[in-house]
């Protein structure tokens, strides 16, 4: 007997819950990802054949079918359009069709959801999905989010479902009510939905308080963890994900993630969890490469990859493990070409077995291809890595208007990833003597770069300059290889003029400059000609941002009339800052770690605000200065923050967030501290500032 759809409005039926619990069982990691997916789909299709109108089963089916990839959404939309055609006046199928459409046919999804609400005003899931749509950047409607969340809570008061994006909301009243509803409903629940709900609850409760007022939340979390570790909860993927999620909460209990890992691995020895545990045990006795002395770091990397490779071969479908092994072998300067090739072969096999198992932007095979080229080879594996990266890019980059991946945005990301793949591929082909293939690949790179070129006067947000510089460098190398020295010199000049501000990560600009000078001399042009050319060329980006001396003084010289006005109304002249030790925090309102740091930056400012020799300054890089003011008000933080998107990266050389810098007349240096929590960060920052101020203090010459 089929359960009527309306009884499933808020909670799955008991038979359905048993199916959903099975989906949380850690799958066999020895199987390829596509086979693991097929096993889950077969389970759901069998269940749906007995309950074809079960909304919770359909939701699970859609989730497994998509696996988070929007490129598979058109087929899902078509499948649910057919189901809706058979049930045109059924609120369940109107909702399910809308859920499939959301992101690629969102306007049509909204129409279907409104029809579902008209047909069945007490069908709560339609309101939850509308709230999700209204919380997106493309359909932003804060009033709509509140209205639909309140309606969902009224229709499904006992549900553990919520909208995780609420943690970004400025509506504290809505946040408080939703967090209270979840906490109340968790009493007595021990299913996988309850395990997942705890993580969402912690996010909402954290959002209600500043990052430095989390003591009560942490106490509640500890109590929740005690309950989660009771025998009442099944050890499965939902349970493990929630407990391991505590690592994202500053001050959360230590060691609980490893404890949970051990418990799940013991139950499921063929799971990815077991692979993680084996990895942890394998590297436990090794010296961490980042902690080793410089002279021993290569040996430390070597011991790491040699320990990891047998584990990777035992778990060949684990791309996260493959990532660790490839990074270690490429850092090992003593690794032979054969050893590197062995690791790369295992790496590629892991990505073939689970292409989306380790998702990064850009796709990891592309980054590995570039790292292999930067290392100087071996180059034979680069083409396969580049092709694998391009294939992953095609699957990752699909239209989704809820995430903003549409139109120019989608074109830009496609251009970035394609260029990042073609450039190392072209260089590898060139190094292997395949000049014709390298030329063909550069033609593809040029076409991809065209999508990234910023309009005149526009800010370069796609890294066009750095990518274009690499493109022209390769063109120059090919020209020289073909005997076209003058063409090569022009190509090198183009590269040098395109480089953006230097970053601590480094690039190949010095190699390009050396190649250009060498070619200039080979052609027979004089040193005076080179100096004349350099003097008249636009090399501000090439020489700028090196993290060198007199950062504020250089800004004062280039912009003599610039006066910085901060959010407290203070006015700062770069020429005055040039005499001080300045602690600079670069942040943006959309950067969650940045916002969590703000209350502690306020404490740092209060600690030093009476000092004439020290300045604490926040440089906000939001495109809209109003976003800075809104964020400071939201977190009730009073700090000297300046809208600095136009000049921040002429002061500091790293476009990373959050980032802290200590600037003295002698140098610009990133502040890094291995801090377990923000209190430790605050203590470390204060000590570093004092040390920098002492080194910056003028030396007094005693009177004789």
- As given in the structure block, the two tokens for residue 53 are 């109108």
Across 189-197, average pLDDT:
97
- As given in the structure block, the two tokens for residue 248 are 């994202």
Sorting pLDDT into bands at 50, 70 and 90, what band is 524? confident
Sorting pLDDT into bands at 50, 70 and 90, what band is 505? low
Residue-wise pLDDT tens digits, 343-363 = 999 999 999 999 888 888 899
Across 621-629, average pLDDT:
91
Residue 688, C-beta contacts closer than 8 angstroms, at least 6 positions apart: 662, 671, 673
Say if CB 60 and CB 22 are below 8 A apart: no
C-alpha 474: how far from chain center: 29
- As given in the structure block, the two tokens for residue 641 are 């923050």
Give the pLDDT score at 5: 39
Residue 423, C-beta contacts closer than 8 angstroms, at least 6 positions apart: 370, 445, 467, 470, 471, 474
Helix extents (H) in 71-105: 73-86, 91-101
HSE toward the beta carbon, residue 283, CA cutoff 13 A: 22
Question: Which backbone phi and psi does 392 adopt, to 5 degrees?
Answer: -65, -40
Question: Which backbone phi and psi does 579 adopt, to 5 degrees?
Answer: -95, -5
Give the pLDDT score at 537: 67
Between 45 and 300, residue with greater pLDDT: 45
Between 95-99, 469-473, 637-641, 654-658, the lowest mean confidence (pLDDT) is in: 654-658
Sorting pLDDT into bands at 50, 70 and 90, what band is 691? very high
Residue 240, C-beta contacts closer than 8 angstroms, at least 6 positions apart: 26, 260, 261, 264, 273
Q: Tell me, letter by letter, the H, E, C secondary structure of 162-186.
A: CCHHHHHCCCHHHHHHHHHHHHHHH
Sorting pLDDT into bands at 50, 70 and 90, what band is 649? confident
- pLDDT above 80: residue 544: no
The separation between the first and the last C-alpha atoms of the chain, rounded to the nearest angstrom, is 104
Give the pLDDT score at 296: 63
Please indicate whether the domains covering 5-246 and 551-696 agree at the CATH topology level: no
- pLDDT above 60: residue 36: yes
Q: Name the helix (H) or strand (E) containing 442.
A: helix 435-450
- pLDDT above 60: residue 545: no
- pLDDT above 80: residue 341: yes
Q: Tell me, letter by letter, the H, E, C secondary structure of 519-564.
A: HHHHHCCCHHHHHHHHHHCCCHHHHCCCCCCCHHHHHHHHCCCCCE
Sorting pLDDT into bands at 50, 70 and 90, what band is 645? confident
Say if CB 419 and CB 445 are below 8 A apart: yes
Give the pLDDT score at 65: 97
Domain range summary for the chain, segments of one domain joined by +: 5-246, 551-696
Query: Which residues are registered as beta bridge partners of 571?
Result: 565
Give the pLDDT score at 702: 47
Across 309-324, average pLDDT:
95
Residue-wise pLDDT tens digits, 122-164 = 999 999 999 999 999 899 999 999 999 999 999 999 999 999 9
Give the pLDDT score at 23: 97
The second-level CATH assignment, the architecture, of 5-246 is Alpha Horseshoe (1.25)
What does the mean pLDDT of the chain come to? 90
Give the pLDDT score at 162: 96
Q: Give the full edge-to-edge strand order of the sheet including 641-643.
A: 641-643, 614-620, 581-587, 659-663, 668-670
Across 670-688, average pLDDT:
87
Distances in whole angstroms, Cα of residue 478 to Cα of each of 258, 435, 473, 596, 646: 52, 7, 9, 49, 37
- Nearest in space to 430 (alpha carbons), one of 481, 465, 466, 354: 481
- As given in the structure block, the two tokens for residue 611 are 């000092």
Across 393-422, average pLDDT:
92
- Nearest in space to 103 (alpha carbons), one of 61, 125, 72: 72
Say if CB 467 and CB 448 are below 8 A apart: no
Say what angle helices 485-498 and 509-523 make with each other, to 10 degrees. 150
Q: Name the helix (H) or strand (E) containing 338.
A: helix 337-353
Determine the Cα–Cα distance for residues 224 and 202; give it in Å rounded to an integer: 10
Q: What CATH number is given for 551-696 in this structure? A: 3.40.30.10
Give the pLDDT score at 3: 34
- pLDDT above 60: residue 701: no
Residue-wise pLDDT tens digits, 420-462 = 999 999 999 999 999 999 999 999 999 999 989 888 766 676 7
Between 48-52, 184-188, 405-409, the lowest mean confidence (pLDDT) is in: 405-409
Give the pLDDT score at 658: 86
């Amino acid at each position: 007997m089929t359960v009527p759809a309306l009884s499933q409005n808020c909670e799955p039926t008991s038979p359905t819950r048993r199916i959903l619990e099975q989906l949380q069982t850690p799958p066999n990691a020895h199987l390829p990802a596509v086979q693991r997916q097929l096993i889950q789909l077969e389970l759901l299709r069998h269940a749906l054949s007995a309950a074809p109108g079960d909304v919770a089963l359909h939701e699970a089916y859609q989730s497994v079918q998509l696996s988070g990839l929007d490129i598979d959404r058109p087929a899902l939309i078509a499948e649910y359009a057919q189901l809706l055609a058979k049930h045109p006046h059924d609120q369940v199928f109107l909702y399910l069709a809308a859920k499939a459409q959301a992101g690629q046919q969102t306007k049509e999804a909204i129409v279907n959801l409104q029809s579902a609400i008209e047909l069945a005003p007490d069908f709560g899931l339609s309101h939850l999905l509308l709230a999700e749509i209204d919380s997106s950047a493309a359909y932003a409607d804060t009033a709509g989010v509140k209205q639909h969340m309140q309606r969902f809570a009224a229709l499904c008061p006992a549900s553990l479902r919520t909208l995780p994006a609420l943690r970004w909301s400025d509506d504290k009243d809505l946040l408080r009510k939703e967090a209270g509803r979840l906490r109340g409903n968790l009493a007595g629940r021990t299913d996988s939905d309850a395990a997942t709900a705890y993580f969402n609850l912690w996010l909402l409760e954290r959002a209600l308080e500043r990052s430095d007022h989390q003591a009560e939340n942490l106490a509640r979390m500890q109590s929740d963890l005690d309950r989660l570790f009771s025998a009442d909860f099944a050890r499965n993927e939902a349970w493990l994900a929630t407990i391991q999620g505590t690592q994202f909460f500053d001050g959360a209990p230590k060691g609980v993630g490893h404890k949970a890992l051990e418990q799940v691995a013991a139950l499921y020895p063929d799971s990815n969890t077991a692979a993680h545990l084996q990895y942890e045990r394998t590297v436990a006795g090794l010296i961490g490469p980042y902690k080793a002395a410089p002279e021993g770091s290569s040996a430390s990397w070597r011991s790491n990859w040699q320990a990891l490779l047998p584990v990777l071969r035992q778990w060949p479908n684990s791309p996260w493990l493959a990532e660790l092994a490839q990074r270690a072998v490429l850092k090992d300067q003593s690794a032979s070409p054969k050893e590197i090739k062995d690791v790369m072969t295992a790496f590629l096999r892991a990505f073939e077995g689970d292409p989306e198992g380790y998702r990064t932007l850009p796709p990891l095979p592309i980054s590995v291809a570039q790292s292999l080229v930067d290392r100087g080879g071996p180059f034979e594996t680069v083409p396969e890595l580049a092709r694998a990266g391009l294939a992953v890019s095609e699957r990752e980059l699909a239209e989704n208007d809820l995430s903003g991946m549409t139109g120019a945005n989608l074109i830009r990301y496609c251009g970035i990833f394609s260029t990042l793949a073609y450039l190392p591929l072209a260089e590898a082909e060139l190094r292997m003597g395949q000049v014709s293939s390298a030329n063909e690949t550069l033609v593809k790179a040029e076409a991809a770069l065209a999508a990234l070129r910023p309009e005149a006067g526009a800010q370069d947000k796609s890294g066009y300059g750095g990518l274009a510089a690499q493109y022209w460098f390769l063109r120059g190398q090919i020209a020289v290889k073909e005997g076209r020295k003058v063409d090569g010199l022009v190509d090198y000049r183009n590269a040098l003029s395109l480089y953006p501000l230097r970053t601590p990560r480094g690039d190949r600009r010095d190699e390009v400059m050396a190649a250009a000078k060498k070619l200039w001399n080979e052609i027979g042009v004089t040193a005076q000609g080179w100096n004349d050319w350099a003097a008249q060329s636009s090399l501000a980006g090439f020489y700028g941002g090196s993290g060198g001396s007199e950062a504020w003084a250089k800004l004062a010289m280039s912009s003599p009339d610039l006066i910085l006005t901060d959010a407290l109304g203070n006015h700062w002249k770069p020429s005055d800052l040039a005499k001080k030790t300045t602690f600079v925090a670069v942040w943006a309102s959309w950067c969650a770690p940045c916002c969590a740091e703000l209350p502690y930056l306020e404490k740092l400012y209060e600690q030093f605000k009476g000092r004439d020799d020290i300045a604490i300054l926040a440089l906000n890089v939001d495109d809209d200065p109003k976003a800075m003011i809104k964020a400071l008000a939201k977190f009730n933080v009073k700090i000297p923050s300046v809208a600095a998107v136009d000049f921040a990266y002429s002061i500091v050389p790293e476009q990373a967030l959050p980032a802290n810098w200590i600037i003295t007349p002698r140098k610009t240096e990133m502040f890094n501290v291995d801090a377990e929590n923000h209190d430790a960060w605050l203590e470390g920052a204060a000590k570093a500032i004092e040390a920098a101020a002492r080194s910056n203090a003028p030396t007094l010459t005693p009177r004789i």
